[in-house]
Structure 1
Amino acid sequence: MKFATWEDGGTVTAGVVGEHGLHALPAGVTVLDLVRAGLPAALEAGAATLSAPPVPLDRVRLLPPLQPETIRDFVAFEEHVEGVVMSVGDGGGVAAEWYEAPTFYFTNPYPLYGAHDDIPVPPGSRLFDFELEVAAVVGRKVASETPDRVRDAIFGYAVLNDWSARDLQRREMKVLLGPAKGKDSATTLGPWLVTADELEPYRDDEGFLPLDMRVSVNGVEVGQDLLSNMGWPFEDLISYAARGTVLRPGDVLGSGTCGHGGCLAELWGRRGEISPPPLRPGDVVEMTVEGIGTIRNRVVPGPELPPVEPARPRPRARQRTN
Structure 2
Amino acid sequence: MKFVTFQNAQRKSRAGLLLDQGIVDLHLASEGALPTDMLSFIAGHDEFMPLLRDLNLTEATPTHALTDVQLLAPLPNPTSFRDYVAFEQHLINATKRAGHTLAEEWYQMPIFYFSNHEAIVGPDAEVIRPHNCLRLDYELELACILGKPARNVKAEDADDYIFGYAVLNDWSARDLQMAEMKVHLGPAKGKDFATSLGPCIVTKDEMAHYATNNHRFDLRMTATVNGQLLSDGNYQTVHYTFGEMLERASRDATLQPGAVLGSGTVGWGCLLELGPETHRWLEPGDVVELEITGIGKLKNTIV
* TM-score, normalising length: structure 2: 0.93
Q: Residue 167 of structure 2 corresponds to which residue in structure 1?
A: 159
Does the 8 Å CA contact 2:226/2:287 hold for their aligned counterparts?
yes
Corresponding residue SS for 1:55: coil
Corresponding residue SS for 2:105: helix
Could you tell me which of 216, 221, 244 is aligned with 1:213?
221
Q: Residue 96 of structure 2 corresponds to which residue in structure 1?
A: 86
Corresponding residue SS for 1:54: coil
Corresponding residue SS for 1:53: coil
Q: Residue 31 of structure 2 corresponds to which residue in structure 1?
A: none
- Pairs within 5 Å for 1:34-113: 34-38=41-45, 41-42=48-49, 44-45=51-52, 48=55, 49-50=57-58, 51-66=60-75, 67-87=77-97, 89=98, 91-113=99-121
Aligned equivalents of 2:225 and 2:54: distance in 1?
Answer: 37
Q: Residue 244 of structure 1 corresponds to which residue in structure 2?
A: 252
CA root-mean-square deviation:
1.5
Q: C-alpha deviations, 1:30-83, integer Å up to 9, x for none? A: 111121113573264266334253311122111111111210000000111111
- Pairs within 5 Å for 1:9-48: 9=9, 10-26=11-27, 28-38=35-45, 41-42=48-49, 44-45=51-52, 48=55
Q: Residue 317 of structure 1 corresponds to which residue in structure 2?
A: none
Does the 8 Å CA contact 1:143/1:243 hold for their aligned counterparts?
yes
Corresponding residue SS for 2:27: coil
Aligned equivalents of 2:96 and 2:164: distance in 1?
Answer: 33
Note closer, same or farther for the CA distance 1:105–1:59 as it changes in structure 2 (3 Å cut). Answer: same
- Pairs within 5 Å for 1:1-322: 1-9=1-9, 10-26=11-27, 28-38=35-45, 41-42=48-49, 44-45=51-52, 48=55, 49-50=57-58, 51-66=60-75, 67-87=77-97, 89=98, 91-260=99-268, 262-268=269-275, 273=276, 275-300=278-303
Corresponding residue SS for 1:159: strand
Q: C-alpha deviations, 1:259-290, integer Å up to 9, x for none? A: 12x1001112xxxx464100001110011100
Corresponding residue SS for 1:238: helix
Q: Residue 307 of structure 1 corresponds to which residue in structure 2?
A: none
Q: C-alpha deviations, 1:140-190, integer Å up to 9, x for none? A: 111112111221111000000001000000100101013110001111000
% identity of equivalent residues: 40
Does the 8 Å CA contact 1:141/1:247 hold for their aligned counterparts?
yes
Does the 8 Å CA contact 1:15/1:46 hold for their aligned counterparts?
no
Does the 8 Å CA contact 1:158/1:292 hold for their aligned counterparts?
yes
* One-letter identity of the residue aligned with 1:5: T
- Structure having the higher Rg: 1
Corresponding residue SS for 1:149: helix
Aligned equivalents of 2:24 and 2:53: distance in 1?
Answer: 9
Corresponding residue SS for 1:150: helix
Aligned equivalents of 1:103 and 1:40: distance in 2?
Answer: 34
Note closer, same or farther for the CA distance 1:46–1:157 as it changes in structure 2 (3 Å cut). Answer: farther
Corresponding residue SS for 1:79: helix
Note closer, same or farther for the CA distance 1:40–1:266 as it changes in structure 2 (3 Å cut). Answer: farther
Mean Cα displacement is larger for which, 45-54 or 142-151?
Answer: 45-54
Shift of 1:84: 1.4
Note closer, same or farther for the CA distance 1:170–1:30 as it changes in structure 2 (3 Å cut). Answer: same
Return 5+ residue gaps in structure 2 as ranges. 29-34
Does the 8 Å CA contact 1:216/1:287 hold for their aligned counterparts?
yes
Does the 8 Å CA contact 1:39/1:155 hold for their aligned counterparts?
no
Shift of 1:29: 2.3
Mean Cα displacement is larger for which, 43-52 or 5-14?
Answer: 43-52
Aligned equivalents of 2:109 and 2:8: distance in 1?
Answer: 44
Q: C-alpha deviations, 1:90-121, integer Å up to 9, x for none? A: x2221111111000000001111111111110
Note closer, same or farther for the CA distance 1:235–1:266 as it changes in structure 2 (3 Å cut). Answer: same
